[in-house]
């Protein structure tokens, strides 16, 4: 069952955020710390009350098996068409539940939600050090929108 996250889901989301950080730290230890979470409990609690920051969880057997943190972004500039985007800020499936289609279900749910909200598109970023995630998103039919390059000193 996929639903909007509640306050009671915060400990499970924090646990999964630690798993995400471990993957990112392994791929880019120069950018990501070994321990911690992207968001704190109070930050997640604040996000739960924001209409433009949906957090969805997939519950399996009474436990949170995965989450998707989204953000509605409205862009309008002199050179850009005014569009609304659902940006997937973070997605995680518990290590013990991977390979069951949970990530796909969360992404399809977010896609349908974005359409219902009148979004033009759904976007996300994938770190180069995470080829499994990149392959997963491409298997959903997602295409590269742009490439970000860097010089590391």
Per-residue pLDDT of the chain in tens (153 residues, 90 and over written 9): 999 999 999 999 999 999 999 999 999 999 999 999 999 999 999 999 898 999 999 999 999 999 999 999 999 888 888 999 999 999 999 999 999 999 999 999 999 999 999 999 999 999 887 888 999 999 999 999 988 888 889
Nearest to 1 by CA among 81, 64, 75, 85: 64
Q: What is the pLDDT of residue 128?
A: 85
How many alpha carbons lie under 13 Å from residue 73 in its C-beta half-sphere? 13
Q: What is the pTM of this model?
A: 0.91
Strand order in the sheet with 121-124: 2-4, 55-60, 63-75, 83-93, 121-124
Domains identified in the chain and CATH numbers? 2-139 (3.40.630.30)
**Contact of 9 with 57, CB cutoff 8 Å:** yes
State how far the Cα of 116 lies from the Cα of 99, in Å rounded to an integer.
28
Q: What is the pLDDT of residue 16?
A: 97
């Amino acid at each position: 069952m996929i639903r909007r996250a509640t306050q009671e889901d915060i400990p499970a989301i924090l646990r999964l955020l630690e798993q995400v950080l471990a993957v990112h730290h392994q791929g880019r230890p120069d950018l990501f710390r070994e321990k911690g979470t992207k968001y704190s409990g109070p930050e997640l609690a604040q996000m739960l009350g924001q209409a433009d920051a949906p957090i969805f969880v997939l519950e399996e057997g009474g436990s949170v098996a995965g989450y998707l943190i989204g953000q509605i972004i409205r862009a309008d500039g002199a050179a850009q068409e005014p569009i609304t985007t659902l940006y997937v800020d973070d997605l995680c499936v518990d290590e013990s539940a991977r390979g069951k289609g949970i990530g796909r279900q969360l992404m399809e749910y977010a896609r349908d939600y974005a359409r219902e909200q009148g979004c033009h598109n759904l976007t996300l970023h994938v770190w180069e050090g995470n080829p499994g995630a990149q392959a997963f998103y491409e298997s959903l039919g997602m295409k590269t929108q742009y490439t970000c390059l860097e010089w590391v000193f």
